[in-house]
Structure 1
Amino acid sequence: MKIIENRERSIQKKFRVNEKENERIKLMMRKTGITNFSIFARRACCNKEIFSIDFSEYKNPNC
């Protein structure tokens, strides 16, 4: 891979998906009109709010 000096985004992220997930990503990219996966992934990851719900009290029925 070619190293580009003064690149604004210097950290590369990689992840793997299965066929179904890949088709879903392609569908969402078509729907949004974004053809560049890097832009799509950055917007999907950085422009959304992530919620975390703690269900630990429901896992232990003896309480």
Structure 2
Amino acid sequence: MKKIKNRERIIQKKFFVNEKENERIKLMMKETGITNFSIFARRACCNKEIFSIDFSEYKNIISEISATKSELKRIGNNINQIAKHLNENKNNQTKEW
């Protein structure tokens, strides 16, 4: 790489991508008409807002839902066992008559 004196941007950033990501980058560059990857990457990284969403509250809700789901499943099993027992007793009583 040739050295350019008085370069405004002196810090180089590198990252790795897979084939699919590389094709997406090429497509996006083609769509925007930018042929220089450095310019494209700088604009993509610096001219966008990054949003961070805190899902910690939802994780607690999801775990509560999961626990409730497990309890409902156990209750359903108990009801099915009671129904089976009642049906077996009912069938046994009708056979005795």
Q: Please give the alpha-carbon distance, in whole angstroms, between the structure 2 residues aligned to 1:5 and 1:56.
A: 49
- TM-score of the superposition, structure 1-length normalised? 0.87
Q: Please give the alpha-carbon distance, in whole angstroms, between the structure 1 residues aligned to 2:19 and 2:12.
A: 22
The CA RMSD measured in Å over matched residues stands at: 1.0
Q: Please give the alpha-carbon distance, in whole angstroms, between the structure 1 residues aligned to 2:28 and 2:35.
A: 10
Measured after TM superposition, the shift of residue 6 of structure 1 is 1.1
Q: State the identity %.
A: 90
Measured after TM superposition, the shift of residue 47 of structure 1 is 0.6
Q: Please give the alpha-carbon distance, in whole angstroms, between the structure 1 residues aligned to 2:21 and 2:15.
A: 12
Q: Whose helix fraction is larger, Structure 1's or Structure 2's? A: 2
Q: Please give the alpha-carbon distance, in whole angstroms, between the structure 1 residues aligned to 2:56 and 2:5.
A: 47
Which deviates more, 27-36 or 51-60? 51-60
Q: How many residues align?
A: 60
Name which structure has the greater RCO, CA cutoff 8 Å, separation 6+: 1
Provide Cα deviations, 1:3-36, integer angstroms capped at 9, x if missing partner: 3321000000000001100000000000000000
Identify unmatched segments of 5+ residues in structure 1. Answer: none
Q: Please give the alpha-carbon distance, in whole angstroms, between the structure 2 residues aligned to 1:21 and 1:35.
A: 17
